[in-house]
Amino acid sequence: MKKYLVLLTFAVLISSDCWACSFPEKTREEMFDDAERVFIGRIISTQLKTEIIENETLDVVNATYQLVESFKGENPQIGIVKEIPFSPGNCMLGLLTGLEYVIYLEDHHFVTLPSGSWGYFNAEAKDVKEELNKLRDISNSGT
């Protein structure tokens, strides 16, 4: 009986999405409209700092990026974006030095999955090219 209880508990924990990052899905156009800035940036360094955010002391990753391509807003050639250190379910990307990311920033400098941000390993991959071309189309349409 104890074996079945352990298996049942394990099955419930595995199937639970309590640690999952969940958020209402938006269209590309909605994410683009909601963002103040949209760009591709290559992360060139990261640094862990402690900041006070909404009266709470938090570890924050400051990621310095080099601008690759700008789609919306004024994006400096070298800039900083932020995220809370990555952990399962916290909706962060886990920004890694040397990789490129499509970054949607709303009214803050935090990069999150719900805002539409995403990263890629291979800019020449078919799926990545298609997504970037769709983003260029949205940007050029003046949405």
pLDDT band at 140 (very low <50, low <70, confident <90, very high): very high
Residue 125, pLDDT above cutoff 80: yes
Q: What whole-number distance in Å separates Cα of residue 139 and Cα of residue 32?
A: 8
Confidence of residue 107 (pLDDT cuts 50, 70, 90): confident
Domain layout of the chain by residue ranges: 23-140
Q: How far apart are CA 73 and CA 30, in angstroms?
A: 16
**pLDDT of 3 strictly over 50:** no
**Helix, strand or coil, per DSSP, at residue 10:** helix
Taking phi over 0 as left and psi of -120 to 50 as alpha, with beta for the rest, 89 belongs to: left
Does the predicted TM-score (pTM) go above 0.95? no
What is the distance between the alpha carbons of residues 90 and 98, in angstroms, rounded to a whole number? 22
Average pLDDT on 36-64 reads 95
Q: Is the pLDDT of residue 101 over 80?
A: yes
Residue of higher predicted confidence among 106 and 16: 106
Query: Quick one: pLDDT at residue 138?
Result: 94
**Whole-angstrom distance, CA of residue 98 vs CA of residue 43:** 5
Whether 26 shows a pLDDT value over 90: the answer reads no
Taking residues 6-15, report their average pLDDT: 38
- Paired tokens of 43: 């992360």
CATH number, span 23-140: 2.40.50.120
pLDDT at 12 exceeding the cut of 80: no
pLDDT of 108 > 70? The answer is yes
For the chain, the distance separating the N- and C-terminal CA atoms, rounded to the nearest angstrom, is 60
With a cut of 80, say whether residue 6 has pLDDT above it: no
Contact criterion met (CB below 8 Å) for 93 and 121:
no
pLDDT for residue 109: 86
